[in-house]
Chains A and B, each alone.
Chain A
Amino acid sequence: MADLTKTRAGQAGQPGRAGPPGQEGTGRLAQVRSGLRAYRLISAMWIRSLMAYRLSFVMSALGNFAVTAFDFAAILLMFSQVDRLGGYALAEVAFLYGASCTAFGLADLALGSMDRLGRRVRDGTLDTLLVRPAPVLAQVAADRFGLHRLGRLTQGALVLTYALVVLDIDWAPLKVLMVPLMLVSGAGIFAAVFMAGAAFQFVAQDAAEVQNAFTYGGTTLLQYPPTVFAKDLVRGVTFVLPLAFVNWLPALYVLGRPYPLDLPVWTAFAPPPVAVACLALAGLAWRAGLRSYRSTGS
């Protein structure tokens, strides 16, 4: 601060220029980079905060693992009574379950705390994020980054691994490629749901539960084969809220199963563009939400 006046004089002479060297401009790509950087910085701080309470961290990670494991235990329990569920064998259901859980786990790990936005809007602490030189979306996404959510992800990945080992699949290259593609796109779709839900909280600050209905509710739905649900529900999660693209359509391709709603086979390859479209829409919703906050205050 000693030689502050010098620098300032320099800055005052050219107020049109961007700030200090190394700072990105206002381009879209630069913004994404700066957002990712902020996300990394802030989530690292939360991890360190968590480590201040190691025992609590271990307990919540285990709890996170156990709670989701109960879901699968319920499925196992059903299979102790029946051989097939909606025409699907245990390993096949495990595949659907593992895929849904892993995809959701990734999104949940990355953005799971976005439902806290409503609280930040209510108590006004969102303002403290708005005065920092980083995109708000990245800051909100990294807010309360919870490493304990690895529990859910681990559980999903374990079940998926089990299914992949047990399943008797004729692995063609496309099918092999489909598995990682499915997980990444699925995570993208869930991420879009998290984002859109958060955007909605700019308007309705107590809507965290609405968001949870779509995220946690959605993943539970996808853990079962589409054949056990009513057609209208399947239609809804295909065409309205495209959760069917998370695992159903690509997984049925891998399993060589008939498609729900007589959809063509190429829809198995739709998840990546669907995910991109969902993320774009969610991005627009986010911008609209943030704009309404900035013009109405709270």
Chain B
Amino acid sequence: METVGTTDLIELEGVEKVFDVRKKTGFLRRERHQVRAVDGISFTVPRGEMVGYIGPNGAGKSTTIKMLTGILTPSGGRLRVAGIVPSRERTRLAQRIGVVFGQRTTLWWDLPLIDSYRLVHRMYRIPDARFRENLDRCVELLELGALLDVPVRQLSLGQRMRGDIAAALLHDPEVLYLDEPTIGLDVISKAKVRGFLRDLNTQSGTTVLLTTHDLTDIEQLCERVMVIDHGRLMYDGPLAGLHEVGESERTLVVDLERELPPMEIESARVVKVEGPRQWLAFPAAQSAAPLVARIAARYPMADLSVREPDIEAVIAKMYAEKATS
């Protein structure tokens, strides 16, 4: 069952993870019940792709990542990364993957940044020339030059995150897992991290799986997005398609020449009125042109603009629909 020649670097087939949770119900009494953190997930990620993996807290994102890195053993299903079963050959897999936990640094707090890299160098047995080449590249692209001799505890959050990303890439991993890589960063730091990841993916062909709460990360980096909720994959496809699935709406902002009562237009509804300005919601899949024409024919229009739907809202809507259905 080797995956020789296939281009799929990550393969999941009906992967499950069931936790036994014991709840204290009395002084010594405990009730046991099972939680299906991941409930039959299947997907593949081809080499060189950059995928966003999103979902609300407790949806099963981290559990999936932990299974993909070999930290957790799946309760069922088939799972392979680079042809390796993670839970069975954890240390061998470790040589071929890079992991960045956004909230837990792997850098050495009291030592200069460069020391952490030297440890990676030796622990991963990276050939000297390769190490120097990779380090130089990371230092240049992540702007770490001035930070190498600074103890990690003195770095800002953004600097540390960049430092962590570099540490995860020195051994040339084929897959990079990023768990909330931009959490807590300021706008400039976020932009730097995103820029670097984009270059990494396009130039080195590193496969990237990214979990995030910041949808801008996804919008700017990922062609493909997977949405997970309650341990199930709810959506897997291009970012644009998410709107259709979520039945999202675009907004037409119309400035009229004077204040008027809410307009009455078919296939669109007024959601907000503020003086002469009115907001109309219409299905995202529908073209705006005929709608504009209809409005122009019946109302004195001064100006207009179209707003694309917010993915956050789309996903929230998707969750809400799932919950009520």
Interface set of A (CB-CB < 8 Å, partner B): 1-2, 4-5, 7-8, 11-16, 18-20, 22-23, 26, 34, 38, 41-42, 45, 48-49, 52-53, 124-125, 127-128, 130-135, 291, 294-297
Contact between B133 and A131, CB atoms less than 8 A apart: no
Interchain CB contact under 8 A, A131 and B69 = yes
Chain B residues in 8 Å Cβ range of A45 = 108, 111, 115, 119
- Docked-complex contact B119 and A294, CB < 8 angstroms: no
Within 8 A of A (CB), among B161-213: 169, 172, 174, 200, 203-206
Q: A15-B82, A19-B96 are in contact. Are A1 and B115 (CB under 8 A)?
A: no
CB distance from B323 to the nearest CB of A (A): 25
Residue B84 interfacial (CB < 8 Å): yes
Question: Interface range on chain B: under 10, 10 to 19, 20 to 34, or 35 or more?
Answer: 35 or more
What distance in Å separates the Cβ of B74 from its nearest Cβ neighbour in chain A? Answer: 9
Which residues on B sit within 8 Å (CB–CB) of A133? 91-92, 94-95, 123-124
| A and B contact pairs by CB, cutoff 8 A, 30 listed | A1-B133, A1-B172, A2-B137, A12-B4, A12-B5, A12-B47, A13-B5, A15-B2, A15-B3, A15-B82, A16-B83, A20-B95, A26-B92, A38-B123, A41-B123, A42-B119, A45-B108, A48-B115, A49-B108, A49-B110, A52-B111, A124-B104, A128-B104, A131-B71, A131-B99, A133-B91, A133-B124, A291-B73, A294-B73, A297-B17
Q: Are B71 and A130 in contact (CB under 8 A)?
A: yes
With A and B bound together, what is the CA distance between A174 and B297 in angstroms?
A: 111
- Which A residues touch B104, using CB under 8 A? 124-125, 127-128
Does B290 make an interface contact (CB < 8 A)? Answer: no
Whether the pair A19, B108 counts as a contact (CB closer than 8 A) is no
CB distance from A197 to the nearest CB of B (A): 22
Residue of A nearest to B95 (CB): A19
Which residues of B sit under 8 angstroms from A12, Cβ to Cβ? 4-5, 47
Does B299 reach chain A (CB closer than 8 Å)?
no
Q: Give Cα A13–Cα B137 distance, bound, in whole angstroms.
A: 27
Check B110 against A130 for contact (C-beta < 8 Å): no
* Other A-B pairs beyond A4-B206, A5-B204, A20-B95, 14, CB < 8 Å: A1-B137, A5-B205, A13-B4, A15-B83, A19-B92, A23-B125, A26-B89, A26-B92, A53-B110, A128-B104, A131-B69, A133-B95, A134-B123, A295-B73
Q: Which of B95, B122, B174 contacts A23 (CB 8 A)?
A: B95
Whether the pair A4, B204 counts as a contact (CB closer than 8 A) is yes
Residues of B within 8 A of A52 (CB): 110-111, 151
B78 at the interface (CB under 8 A from A): no
Q: Within the assembled complex, what's the spacing in Å between the Cα atoms of A2 and B169?
A: 12
Contacts of B123 in A (CB 8 A): 38, 41, 132-134
Q: Hey, which chain A residues are within 8 Å of B4, CB to CB?
A: 12-15
* 6 shortest interchain CB distances as A-B pairs: A15-B83, A133-B94, A49-B110, A19-B95, A52-B110, A131-B99
> Judging by beta carbons under 8 Å apart, are A131 and B205 in contact?
no
Contact A49-B101, Cβ < 8 Å, known A15-B83, A132-B94: no
Q: 1/0 per residue B37-73: CB within 8 Å of A?
A: 1000000000100000000000000010010011111
Tell whether, in the assembled complex, residue B111 and residue A297 are in contact, meaning their CB atoms are under 8 Å apart. no
Given contacts A8-B205, A15-B83, A49-B111, is CB(A131)–CB(B95) below 8 Å?
no
Q: Are A296 and B20 in contact (CB under 8 A)?
A: yes
